[in-house]
Chains A and B, each alone.
Chain A
Amino acid sequence: MIDVLVVGGGNAALCAALMAREAGASVLLLEASPREWRGGNSQHTRNLRCMHDAPQDVLIEAYPEEEYWQDLLKVTGGITDEHLARLVIRASSNCRDWMRKHGVHFQPPLSGALHVARTNAFFMGGGKALVNAYFRSAEQLGVAIRYDTPVASVELDGDRFMAVRTLAGERIEARSCVLAAGGFESNREWLREAWGQNERGEWPSDNFLIRGTRFNEGVLLKHMIAAGADTIGDPTQAHMVAIDARAPLYDGGICTRIDCVSLGVVVNREGERFYDEGEDFWPKRYAIWGRLVAQQPGQVGYSIIDQKAIGRFMPPVFPGTTGGTLAELAGKLGLPEQTFVQTVERFNAACQTGTFDHTALDDCHTEGLAPAKTHWARPIDTPPYYGYALKPGVTFTYLGLKVNDRAAVHFGGRPSTNLFVAGEMMAGNVLGKGYTAGVGMAIGTAFGRIAGTQAAAAAIARNLDHATA
């Protein structure tokens, strides 16, 4: 019998497998996807939010524990667990040498991302390069890896892990197990069930796009919930951003983002504005726009800019719809012309143009307009005009299994002695809602490593039990 079974093939799963193997356990990792799609959502990630008290290789200045914690507190609106959150924060300060040892390379922030030069360490080549490095290292260390092996269920004896059963029906026993198989974001049915029907009779989630892997069906999460594991989080909470409506249904990743929201206005299907586009710096606000768009009729929004904004934001993957006049743009986007033109004209008239500065919370704002645009408000008056249709793009869901600081799965408040969970399947313990760049990988890395260590210890302890029994 193998010591540690790891279910999943993303960052958290790989961290767990590597730590368990380093602790001397025999490890088998089961990845649901074929090899070319391996790595779950980690293949789309790009950085790790890192605490540091002084400049560290690619990280400038300092990002102390308290500031990190306050940032997390702010974005989650307090729906977090301070003990676990601080555990993640501290782990983020000293995990990078270990990551490097397993082949991960870091680099200074990408162009267009200097705003996180202080807080986030970027993976050279992005998350897929990290996943490749971890898989290579795992193979070299003798971790057994099986692709195309989705797990359907877990066999328990009370709160003890016994075995898993794969979708193909194979039963695989192990002394301990780490579940790191992702959220349920690619399960359309479950999203529909979670989001339900709105007051307009729509099923909002039918219009969601999934930014990440198609393999996160939440099969194991559902199974564990049914088996009585303690859960945490709200099924509608997720990392959700507004992305280009033309993005593919799955795996659109980073490039489908539309980053010009704060440079113009956003209207809904009716041609009306619905939120302050200039509330704060875009990197601090991008993660709320997915939900904002999800609440609009048809779950669609339209980011509208003029020529002045071109070149001031990350170039979008698809070209924008253009119009020589606002009316023409409305026609091409299928927006009600009169309302749309009126909305923009009212906005233009309300702009109190000061000194435009996209790198500061400048004094360009609207007056007498609801909702206001509080920064970077400049009249949209320089053709050609550009429009980008937006849809909510789900990165990952937050509903997960409740853990303690040993990453143990709980049943009725009691921690299992040999079943652990890491990554998106438990990120909701720290992230009740909201998001801040690089924190998903921080949680996955911290809890992946803890889960691997704990699983190895549990397996070795069980070995000793057998030996002495």
Chain B
Amino acid sequence: MQQLEALTREASTLANGSEGRSGRAVIPILSAAETEVGRQMQICNACRYCEGFCAVFPAMTRRLEFGKADIHYLANLCHNCGACLHACQYAPPHEFAVNVPKAMAQVRGQTYVDYAWPPALGALYRRNGLTLSLALAAGLALFLILAVALNGTLWGGGLGGNFYRLFPHNLLVGMFAPVFLFAVLALGMGVRRFWREVTPATGSASLSAPAAAEATDAVLRLKYLDGGHGKGCNNDDDAFTLSRRRFHHFTFYGFMLCFAATSVATLYHYVFGWVAPYELPSLPKLLGVVGGVSLMIGTAGLWHLNRQRNPLHGDAAQKPMDLGFIALLFLTSASGLALWLGRGTPALAVLLCVHLGAVMALFATLPYGKFAHGIFRTAALLRHAIEKRQPNPIGLGDE
């Protein structure tokens, strides 16, 4: 193995000294985390017992060597389900020390930083922890509370459930739209760079309808948390559980329903001139309540599972980021529901401030936090669906 690393380093040095025709280095130098994935993939490719679990291993078998782009692609294809770790005959304490979920997670975290847009803000990923997320939400909420208190309408207020009296609609749009649009732009630019980098390494072909359909299915059903056999993935030990997949579904679909609620409400407002608040059984409220409850259930479950997670899974350094995102989602949904339930009480203004603070913190941290995993993984799954439809570049038949 040391020999392999020495060779890799030697090759990298050579390659970076002699530039290719395009003027780009032929083989970019691998980071320590990438070298580790390359080392482990060399072992896995000679074993292949885990091929049935997920997309990573079938993708691996299409390669004999693992360059930077291959490693970035595989790292984002990995769902950190843990199945290959518990099944691995080379896992620690074996001297080969194979722990694919961990090695992949470390590179994955690094790719978020590397592909971040603008690049200078990539460092935010490393600081986007639980404390920061909550502090940001609390800080923003406090700011709003103070602003409202100065206005004299913080408690009681006789607002009649209409929060536009506190924060006019246009003010809210002016606050949230730029932050949200920036998040979309930043993530879009980041994933575009990722896509460009991994495309030549994944067969270069462009997206076809069947490939798009397959990847969409894999994303929407979270296919690769089913363990390959439908019994689920691992959490605390070698037993399979569907709870991670299910709580993730609650979270994802809850989030999407809340997003849909906001979108429908926007349409109501601008197209039909129907102004909030909307009450049951209006569509925005229905979507919002179901979405909010689902998001609370999902994030509470994911939080619990994250705390129970086997310490060998994934990258411990990224846990604060995971928990920060989960906490903000929970806070957003919980405060949103509280706002609805407390709309007729004197606490309306405070609840509104807390909710807006949570939403603003969520939006602000969106492009440089755990949310990115969904975007990058979807891109990797799309590339996988494209790549698997190309002829296998390795002559290794089943000879």
**A313-B394 Cα distance, complex, nearest whole Å:** 9
Given A126-B49, A132-B238, A111 and B396 contact (CB-CB distance below 8 Å): yes
Q: Most chain-B Cβ atoms within 10 A of its Cβ — which of A109, A110, A127, A256? A: A110
Which of A46, A114, A251 contacts B49 (CB under 8 A)? A46
Q: Mark A97-127, 1 if CB is under 8 A from B, else 0.
A: 0000000010101111111000000111111
Contacts of A282 in B (CB 8 A): 399
Q: Is the CB of A255 within 8 A of B90?
A: yes
Q: Is the CB of B61 within 8 A of A125?
A: no
**A256-B95 Cα distance, complex, nearest whole Å:** 13
Which of A113, A125, A315 contacts B83 (CB under 8 A)? A125
Q: Is the CB of A110 within 8 A of B51?
A: yes
Contacts of A136 in B (CB 8 A): 238-239
Contacts of A110 in B (CB 8 A): 48-49, 51
Which of A112, A124, A129 contacts B61 (CB under 8 A)? A112
Q: Is the CB of A124 within 8 A of B397?
A: no
Given A110-B49, A254-B49, A319-B3, A36 and B93 contact (CB-CB distance below 8 Å): yes
CB of A298 within 8 Å of the partner chain: no
CB of A49 within 8 Å of the partner chain: no
- Which residues of A are in contact with B by a Cβ distance under 8 Å? 36-37, 43-44, 46, 105, 107, 109-115, 122-129, 132, 136, 248, 251, 253-257, 282, 310-319, 358-359
Q: Is the CB of A128 within 8 A of B88?
A: yes
CB of B331 within 8 Å of the partner chain: no
**A256-B52 Cα distance, complex, nearest whole Å:** 21
CB of B21 within 8 Å of the partner chain: no
Given A132-B238, A248-B95, A317-B46, A124 and B89 contact (CB-CB distance below 8 Å): no
**A345-B164 Cα distance, complex, nearest whole Å:** 89
Contacts of A251 in B (CB 8 A): 89, 94
The smallest C-beta distance from A367 to any residue of chain B, in angstroms, reads 24
Q: Most chain-A Cβ atoms within 10 A of its Cβ — which of B64, B396, B399? A: B399
The smallest C-beta distance from A285 to any residue of chain B, in angstroms, reads 13
Q: Mark B132-150, 1 if CB is under 8 A from A, else 0.
A: 0000000000000000000
Q: Is the CB of A358 within 8 A of B90?
A: no
Contacts of B397 in A (CB 8 A): 312, 358-359
Q: Is the CB of A254 within 8 A of B47?
A: yes
Q: Nearest chain-A residue to B61 (Cβ)?
A: A111
The smallest C-beta distance from A199 to any residue of chain B, in angstroms, reads 35
Q: Nearest chain-B residue to A316 (Cβ)?
A: B46
Q: Nearest chain-A residue to B395 (Cβ)?
A: A311
The smallest C-beta distance from A104 to any residue of chain B, in angstroms, reads 10
Main secondary structure of the interface of B (DSSP, over half): loop
**A261-B144 Cα distance, complex, nearest whole Å:** 74
Q: Is the CB of B89 within 8 A of A132?
A: no
- Pairs A–B under 8 Å by Cβ, sample size 19: A43-B89, A46-B49, A105-B231, A110-B49, A111-B396, A112-B396, A122-B52, A125-B52, A126-B49, A126-B50, A129-B87, A132-B86, A251-B94, A253-B47, A253-B89, A311-B396, A315-B42, A315-B396, A316-B46
Given A112-B398, A114-B398, A311-B395, A127 and B48 contact (CB-CB distance below 8 Å): no
Q: Is the CB of B58 within 8 A of A111?
A: yes
Contacts of B1 in A (CB 8 A): 318
Q: Is the CB of A315 within 8 A of B47?
A: no
Contacts of B330 in A (CB 8 A): none
Which of A114, A127, A314 contacts B89 (CB under 8 A)? A127
**A312-B396 Cα distance, complex, nearest whole Å:** 4
Contacts of B231 in A (CB 8 A): 105
Chain B residues 71 to 106 lying within 8 A of chain A, measured CB to CB, are 83-84, 86-90, 92-96
Contacts of A315 in B (CB 8 A): 42, 45-46, 64, 396
Q: Nearest chain-B residue to A255 (Cβ)?
A: B46
Q: Is the CB of B229 within 8 A of A319?
A: no
Q: Most chain-B Cβ atoms within 10 A of its Cβ — which of A111, A115, A251? A: A111
The smallest C-beta distance from A112 to any residue of chain B, in angstroms, reads 6
**A46-B46 Cα distance, complex, nearest whole Å:** 13
CB of B375 within 8 Å of the partner chain: no
The smallest C-beta distance from A193 to any residue of chain B, in angstroms, reads 28
The smallest C-beta distance from A164 to any residue of chain B, in angstroms, reads 27
Q: Is the CB of B87 within 8 A of A128?
A: yes
CB of B247 within 8 Å of the partner chain: no
Beyond A126-B89, A318-B1, list 9 extra A-B contacts (CB 8 Å).
Answer: A127-B89, A251-B94, A255-B46, A311-B394, A314-B396, A315-B46, A317-B42, A317-B46, A358-B399
Chain B residues 36 to 77 lying within 8 A of chain A, measured CB to CB, are 42-43, 45-53, 58, 61, 64
CB of B267 within 8 Å of the partner chain: no
The smallest C-beta distance from A310 to any residue of chain B, in angstroms, reads 7
The smallest C-beta distance from A255 to any residue of chain B, in angstroms, reads 4
**A253-B49 Cα distance, complex, nearest whole Å:** 11
**A318-B5 Cα distance, complex, nearest whole Å:** 11
Contacts of B3 in A (CB 8 A): 318-319
Contacts of B49 in A (CB 8 A): 46, 110, 123, 125-127, 129, 254
Given A132-B86, A248-B95, A255-B47, A312 and B228 contact (CB-CB distance below 8 Å): no
CB of B316 within 8 Å of the partner chain: no
The smallest C-beta distance from A410 to any residue of chain B, in angstroms, reads 34
Q: Is the CB of B52 within 8 A of A107?
A: yes
**A360-B279 Cα distance, complex, nearest whole Å:** 73
**A43-B49 Cα distance, complex, nearest whole Å:** 11
